[in-house]
Copies of this chain bind each other. A is one copy, B any other.
């Protein structure tokens, strides 16, 4: 029995656990819109299926597919992956799915944020987004989890938490007037506290260069353990990413987390720079409803856009000159886990990566 609650997670004793805490499973969605995914979405579907397989080896995976794609998704995904019908506008479960919260009694609930396609009519990436805004509710019905409908716009990729009171985000995204123009920094902090049970917000500035989400933190910087983060890093002073990463680093050095710890930073090399090829851009259908994909577009590639599953880290393979070093850094940051790479350029072509297309369901447990 699941219902929509009028209270807040904080008031009810719930908190968002860190991604590296134990999972009950993972949700994903199936890509299909041909005005964002080239060649009828086939190459993207292959990449998504590889991600689902890599995670399913570690924990249960459910993939949401529209009824048009149900049979195709079912046939292209391994039997271990559950496929359910959910209509979507696109396949970014991190941003459209619920953010799960847990309490000390082992209960699990979900926060359903208002979704406006990363900026609504003012810079959003497609129109309409009505189906995406229903995804979190539908996931929670299937999970049998009670639901909080948060009264503000947020995407799951815009936040990371350490599970011990600290939240990481960017000013570029959360203070962008195309999300919650009525809310100031203090209002946002207060809402994050109430809906995620956190105590402190660590503000970074801009996200990865040319990131069309308006700088989601999950492409720039994430927790790898309490007191430790991974940060996308660029050594080329002439690259626009250089200043962004350096600013983030300096802010992190100047901050302490909710428990008073300084941050240890694992620097992940930036892949590329990566740009869309003519062949890649030409494979995307033209349509009024979505942001055009153009040859030469600088893509916001980042190794930070990995996913932490039970016992393994699933990382994007994006650049043969950098993949190995990135894998090394992740192996050091996650000593207890296997690091599994999945070719992910086809996901990046659509505007995000492995973290953007996944959403964890925490395992409820007693502390």
Q: Are A84 and B134 in contact (CB under 8 A)?
A: no
**Inside 8 A of A131's CB, which chain B residues have their CB?**
67
Does A86 lie at the interface of the complex (its beta carbon under 8 Å from any beta carbon of B)?
yes
Known: A84-B142, A85-B138. 14 other contacts (CB 8 A): A1-B80, A1-B82, A2-B82, A3-B79, A67-B87, A70-B138, A71-B134, A74-B137, A74-B141, A82-B142, A84-B84, A84-B138, A85-B85, A142-B142
Report the Cα distance A357→B141, complex, angstroms.
21
**Inside 8 A of A138's CB, which chain B residues have their CB?**
70, 84-85
Q: Are A83 and B1 in contact (CB under 8 A)?
A: no
Q: Are B3 and A82 in contact (CB under 8 A)?
A: no
**Inside 8 A of A67's CB, which chain B residues have their CB?**
86-87, 131, 134
Q: Are A134 and B70 in contact (CB under 8 A)?
A: yes
A-B contact pairs, 28 of them (CB 8 A): A1-B79, A1-B80, A1-B82, A2-B79, A2-B82, A3-B79, A67-B86, A67-B87, A67-B131, A67-B134, A70-B137, A70-B138, A71-B134, A74-B137, A74-B141, A82-B142, A82-B144, A83-B141, A84-B84, A84-B85, A84-B138, A84-B141, A84-B142, A85-B85, A85-B86, A85-B87, A85-B138, A142-B142
Report the Cα distance A99→B1, complex, angstroms.
24
In A45-73, the 8 Å CB interface with B consists of: 67, 70-71
Report the Cα distance A1→B81, complex, angstroms.
7
**Inside 8 A of A141's CB, which chain B residues have their CB?**
74, 82-84
**CB closest chain-B residue, reference A144:** B82
Tell me the dominant secondary structure on chain A's binding face: mixed
Q: How far is the CB of A10 from chain B (nearest CB, A)?
A: 22
Greatest chain B CB density within 10 A among A2, A3, A85 is at A85
**Inside 8 A of A87's CB, which chain B residues have their CB?**
67, 85
Copies of this chain, count: 2
- A residues whose Cβ falls under 8 Å from a Cβ of B: 1-3, 67, 70-71, 74, 79-80, 82-87, 131, 134, 137-138, 141-142, 144
Q: How far is the CB of A89 from chain B (nearest CB, A)?
A: 11
Q: How far is the CB of A26 from chain B (nearest CB, A)?
A: 14
Q: How far is the CB of A88 from chain B (nearest CB, A)?
A: 9
Report the Cα distance A144→B84, complex, angstroms.
11
In the complex, the 6 A-B pairs of residues with the closest C-beta atoms, listed nearest first: A3-B79, A67-B87, A1-B80, A85-B85, A85-B138, A85-B86
**CB closest chain-B residue, reference A1:** B80
Report the Cα distance A144→B81, complex, angstroms.
10
Q: How far is the CB of A58 from chain B (nearest CB, A)?
A: 14
**CB closest chain-B residue, reference A63:** B141
Greatest chain B CB density within 10 A among A137, A141, A142 is at A141
Q: How far is the CB of A98 from chain B (nearest CB, A)?
A: 15
**Inside 8 A of A3's CB, which chain B residues have their CB?**
79
**CB closest chain-B residue, reference A80:** B1
Q: How far is the CB of A204 from chain B (nearest CB, A)?
A: 36
Q: How far is the CB of A93 from chain B (nearest CB, A)?
A: 15
Report the Cα distance A153→B79, complex, angstroms.
25
Report the Cα distance A82→B140, complex, angstroms.
10
**Inside 8 A of A74's CB, which chain B residues have their CB?**
137, 141
Q: How far is the CB of A53 from chain B (nearest CB, A)?
A: 13
**Inside 8 A of A86's CB, which chain B residues have their CB?**
67, 85
**Inside 8 A of A134's CB, which chain B residues have their CB?**
67, 70-71
Report the Cα distance A80→B70, complex, angstroms.
27
